[in-house]
């Protein structure tokens, strides 16, 4: 008799990002689907990694991450968000932001715990919760503004609520938290034992002069948060899979128990290079303006197309409505667009457990102008 797997994730298929990227390759389509830049990263950072390798930094660093890198991160976080972070006890370097979120959830969840997520939700959250035997409690963001209905959050809270996952700037909508959202969140979690898992991988990709309202700014939120970040999004190297998590020492100790028996420790030479590179604040402070230009460039080129943009205040992404074009559900329309128009996008329905359709697609504008122009040209001129 052969062994059989009783699936831990019976409802999970292949992620939409991989699916659409494979389809894009198959049809040689312009890929505005999966979120990654198509322009080169800073070659000085590549040189710094190679210098670290030549210098012999090729063995394990401490399981929590290279201390000098954690020190630079602590300085950066305090400068930007005004609260102290202890590099020794409160920061762990991880292989990417998604891993940090998974590890935080695995550290805190017991079977039967409930976790509030907002849909559309980044597609890993749901499965990170269910694989831990916990129960996702899904609250829809209000279409088309993707605002949070805090009344709904209040009524969703039960004695079993263990955590709320917050994501700002939001993937896929590009919405960012407002001071009113922070006020509501503070009120709701006050006097509860609810953790916050905050996905802030797009912290620097924020537009129109808006500030990033990190959990790290607010002592009463910070003290219950696992805040997750990504170097890939900051330095245009998503394939490096490097990120980190910040949490209060007692919670970080549990996070590290999970981390040490899974990844254990991350790529050493990259950590040496990042520790050097972080001292250049301009690289991340200018990111928002750069990405805003790309958003606006695509928006400009899309004028005259039948797609309607919804506002995006941050991230790599903007949602466009095709309600005036087709009645096809989002996945089918996105597949059609890849096959027939050679432009690949992501159906936002993939971010809902029940595949809610609002006739919208997510476009990634973290691309060079030539790519965006060619894609927009096709989208302005196609016939359905
Ligand atoms: N975060 C990226 C996105 O939203 C993709 C990451 C992935 O493919 N897992 O497109």
pLDDT, one tens digit per residue, over 88-120 is: 999 999 999 999 999 999 999 999 999 999 999
Candidates 82, 99, 100, 81; CA nearest to 91 is 100
How far is the centre of ligand 1, averaged over its atoms, from the C-alpha of 151 (Å)? Answer: 30
Whether pLDDT at 130 is above 90: yes
* Residue 383 pLDDT grade (very low, low, confident, very high; cuts 50, 70, 90): confident
Ligand 1 in contact with 127 (CB < 6 A)? no
Q: How many Cβ atoms from other residues are within 10 Å of residue 5's Cβ?
A: 6
Distance CA 384, CA 306 (A): 10
Distance CA 105, CA 61 (A): 25
* Residue 217 pLDDT grade (very low, low, confident, very high; cuts 50, 70, 90): very high
- Predicted pLDDT at 53: 98
Whether pLDDT at 222 is above 80: yes
Ligand 1 in contact with 120 (CB < 6 A)? no
CA distances from 148 to 143, 151, 347 (A): 10, 9, 21
pLDDT, one tens digit per residue, over 345-376 is: 999 999 999 999 999 999 999 999 999 999 99
- Predicted pLDDT at 328: 97
What is the average pLDDT score of the chain?
A: 97
* Residue 276 pLDDT grade (very low, low, confident, very high; cuts 50, 70, 90): very high
Ligand 1 in contact with 305 (CB < 6 A)? no
For a mutational test of ligand 1's pocket, the pick from 14, 16, 17, i.e. the residue with the most ligand atoms closer than 8 A to its C-beta, is 17
What are 104's two structure tokens? 């935080």
How far is the centre of ligand 1, averaged over its atoms, from the C-alpha of 81 (Å)? Answer: 26
What is the mean predicted confidence (pLDDT) over 306-319?
A: 98
Ligand 1 in contact with 35 (CB < 6 A)? yes
How far is the centre of ligand 1, averaged over its atoms, from the C-alpha of 172 (Å)? Answer: 10
- Predicted pLDDT at 382: 85
Q: For residue 30, list its beta bridge partners.
A: 343
> Which atom of ligand 1 has the smallest separation from the CA of 172?
4
194 torsion bin: left (phi>0), alpha (psi -120 to 50), beta (else): beta
What are 210's two structure tokens? 């808006």
How far is the centre of ligand 1, averaged over its atoms, from the C-alpha of 34 (Å)? Answer: 5
Q: Whose CA is nearest to atom 4 of ligand 1?
A: 35
pLDDT, one tens digit per residue, over 36-66 is: 999 999 999 999 999 999 999 999 999 999 9
Q: Whose CA is nearest to atom 2 of ligand 1?
A: 35
Whether pLDDT at 384 is above 80: no
pLDDT, one tens digit per residue, over 15-33 is: 999 999 999 999 999 999 9
What is the mean predicted confidence (pLDDT) over 178-184?
A: 98
Is 0.95 surpassed by the pTM of this model?
yes
Ligand 1 in contact with 17 (CB < 6 A)? yes
């Amino acid at each position: 008799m052969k062994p059989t797997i009783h699936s831990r994730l019976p409802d999970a298929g292949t992620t939409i990002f991989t699916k659409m990227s494979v389809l894009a390759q198959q049809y040689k389509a312009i890929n505005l689907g999966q979120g990654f830049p198509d322009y080169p990263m800073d070659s000085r950072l590549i040189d710094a990694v190679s210098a670290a390798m030549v210098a012999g930094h090729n063995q394990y660093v401490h399981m929590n991450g290279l201390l000098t890198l954690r020190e630079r991160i602590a300085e950066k976080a305090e400068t930007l968000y005004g609260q102290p972070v202890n590099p020794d006890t409160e920061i762990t370097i991880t292989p990417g932001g998604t891993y940090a979120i998974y590890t935080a959830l695995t550290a805190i969840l017991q079977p039967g715990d409930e976790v509030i997520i907002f849909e559309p939700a980044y597609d890993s959250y749901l499965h990170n919760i269910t694989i831990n035997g916990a129960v996702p409690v899904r609250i829809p963001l209000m279409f088309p503004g993707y605002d949070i209905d805090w009344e709904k959050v209040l009524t969703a809270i039960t004695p079993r609520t263990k955590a709320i996952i917050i994501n700002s700037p939001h993937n896929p909508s590009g919405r960012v938290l407002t001071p009113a959202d922070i006020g509501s969140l503070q009120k709701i979690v006050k006097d509860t034992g609810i953790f916050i898992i905050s996905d802030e991988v797009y912290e620097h990709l924020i537009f129109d002069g808006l500030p990033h309202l990190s959990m790290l700014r607010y002592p009463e939120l910070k003290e219950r948060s696992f805040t997750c970040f990504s170097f890939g999004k900051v330095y245009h190297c998503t394939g490096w899979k490097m990120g980190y998590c910040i949490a209060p020492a007692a919670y970080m100790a549990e996070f590290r128990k999970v981390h040490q028996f899974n990844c254990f420790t991350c790529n050493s030479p990259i950590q040496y290079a990042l520790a050097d590179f972080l001292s250049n604040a301009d690289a991340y402070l200018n990111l928002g303006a750069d990405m805003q230009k790309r958003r606006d460039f695509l928006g400009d080129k899309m004028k005259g197309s039948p797609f309607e943009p919804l506002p995006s205040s941050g991230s790599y992404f903007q949602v466009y409505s095709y309600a005036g074009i087709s009645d096809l559900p989002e996945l089918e329309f996105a597949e059609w667009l890849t096959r027939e128009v050679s432009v690949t996008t992501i159906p936002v329905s993939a971010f809902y457990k029940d595949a809610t359709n609002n006739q919208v697609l997510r476009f990634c504008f973290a691309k060079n102008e030539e790519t965006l122009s060619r894609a927009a040209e096709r989208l302005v001129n196609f016939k359905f």
